[in-house]
Amino acid sequence: MDYKKLHFDTLQIHAGLDKSDPTCSRGIGIHPTAAYRFPTCDYAAGLFELSQPGNIYTRLQNPTTSAYEERIAALYGGSGALAVSSGMSAILIAVTALASQGDNIVASPYLYGGTYNQFRHTLQRLGIEVRIADTPSPESFAALIDGRTRAIFVESMGNPTCAVPDLDGIGRLAAKHHVPFIVDNTFGAGGYLCNPFEWGANIIVDSATKWINGHGTAMGGIIVDGGNFDWTGVGAVDAPSEGYHGLNLWKSFGNQAFIVKCRVDGLRDLGACPSPFDSYLMLLGLETLSLRVRHQVQSTRRLAEFLRDCGKAKTVSFVGFENHPSHANAARYFRFGSSAVLNVELKGDIDSTVRFVESLQLAAHMTMIGDSITVVTHPASTTHKQLSEADLVHAGVTPTLLRISLGLEDVEDIIADFGQAFVKAGL
């Protein structure tokens, strides 16, 4: 089937379905197997030398997961996708596929706390330097690029600030320097709200735990290869592979070379594979992705308007409002010019903020976004707790800042829940 002819709402249901399945099953089967039988030794040899497609071991590939990967690749219009065990493992595998000891990547200042820690600590121990730009402007990134830069990394919408970078400008900068452009598109809701490939991205990573799953029932990450980068001369991909008897992935697999490298090197050696059952839950979540996100975006605007007018908030940060610093970029890069997340700085202090959070009855206090349940997170004491005071300021995290991810409830019930929590918190 030519997926390019289908709309997003159709692809999220039909892409990846095997209509030749002799069982004629409507749903995709769960394959709870660790290994696969090889009909012949020659067949097995072909699998292991990458000349024969097929399943070897579920650490590398599984039929349920393959269907999920095909659906994600179709939604993004990419050349291929790789499912992994979490969003953090997606970032780790993508970056380490490109950078080695002595190399560097250049990253946005607006990063999820877990990503920041991976960049500042884990990658540093591996000898990979992460250079954090002073601002999200292309000029700030350009000043940090040198001959050892192996990637540029941004979030399509920063977590928790909701800052939207100039994707087009940074994409053109990356192309100018022949450096792969990686975008964490978690806030882009599986490509429904934002597809960075349309703006020059070459690789997308996504925490599938969030909107792709949509119900808080499974952990997962995804890497998508745009198939739009010329890997000629890039040693990480266009060079003899020591692990495969000198095989050159770029010459052998063309526009799927990067995603193949992530699979046959990253999953093989790091082992961060998803379970078939989790892949199945992701497939179920994808079937309703656009429906859920449309509702959540509408609810987010309604709650943002309530918080702006209720007199309890110091600031309300919502990209749908014209006073948000990223309003123009959100209007350009995101469907509806909006998001399903907002931030609010409450009046009062950290103690009253904690009382407010602990008084909520419907909204859940969790480190989660994109769930069917509305989630309120206090970044200063959770997702960004490990950051220094200076880094918190740089990331825009203050003591009374709350990140709010709207769920599927009736938003008027959420507003009522906030109202009673304000009273109990003494705000």
Peptide bond into 22 cis (omega under 30): no
pLDDT tens-digit profile of 95-117?
999 999 999 999 999 998 889 99
- What's the token pair of residue 178? 């022949």
Reply yes or no on whether the pLDDT at 386 is more than 80: no
Q: What is the DSSP letter of 144?
A: T
Q: Give the residue carrying structure tokens 């030398």.
A: 49
CB count in 10 Å sphere of residue 257: 24
pLDDT at position 395 over 70? no
Q: Which residues face 224 on adjacent strands? A: 81, 204
Per-residue pLDDT reduced to its tens digit, 59-68? 999 999 999 9
> How far is CA 417 from its chain centroid?
30
Structure tokens belonging to residue 229: 């980068």
CB atoms within 10 A of CB 272: 18
Which 8-state DSSP code applies to residue 59?
T
In contact, 164 and 137? CB cutoff 8 Å: no
Determine the average pLDDT of the residues in 253-260: 97
Q: How confident is the model at residue 7 (pLDDT cuts 50, 70, 90)?
A: very high
Confidence of residue 373 (pLDDT cuts 50, 70, 90): very high
**pLDDT of amino acid 13:** 93
Distance CA 284, CA 200 (A): 30
Nearest to 316 by CA among 332, 295, 300: 300
DSSP 150-217: EEEEEESS-TTT-----HHHHHHHHHHTT--EEEE-GGGTTTTS--GGGGT-SEEEEETTTTTT-SS-
CA-based end-to-end distance of the chain: 57
Q: What is the mean pLDDT of residues 220-245?
A: 95
- Domains delineated in the chain: 3-286 (3.40.640.10), 290-425 (3.90.1150.10)
The string of DSSP letters for 345-395 reads EESS-HHHHHHHHHH-SSSEESS--S-SS-EEE-GGGTTTTTS-HHHHHHH
**What distance in Å separates the CA atoms of residue 61 and residue 82, rounded to the nearest whole number?**
9
Neighbours of 91 (CB within 10 A): 26
pLDDT at 24: 82
Check the CA dihedral 107-110-112-116 and report its sign: positive
6, pLDDT greater than 80: yes
Report the C-alpha gap between 274 and 31 in whole angstroms: 12
pLDDT in tens, 186-221: 999 999 999 999 999 999 999 999 999 999 999 999
What angle separates helix 276-287 from helix 63-76, to the nearest 10 degrees? 40
Structure tokens at 350: 């950290």
For range 44-57, the mean pLDDT: 92
How do beta strands 181-184 and 149-155 pair? parallel
pLDDT value for 25: 86
Task: For residue 356, give the amino acid letter.
Answer: F
Between the CA of residue 132 and those of 99, 271, 337, 391, what are the distances in Å?
Answer: 16, 28, 27, 11
Amino acid at 102: G
pTM above 0.85, yes or no: yes
DSSP 254-290: GGGHHHHHIIIIIIHHH--PPPHHHHHHHHHHHHTHH
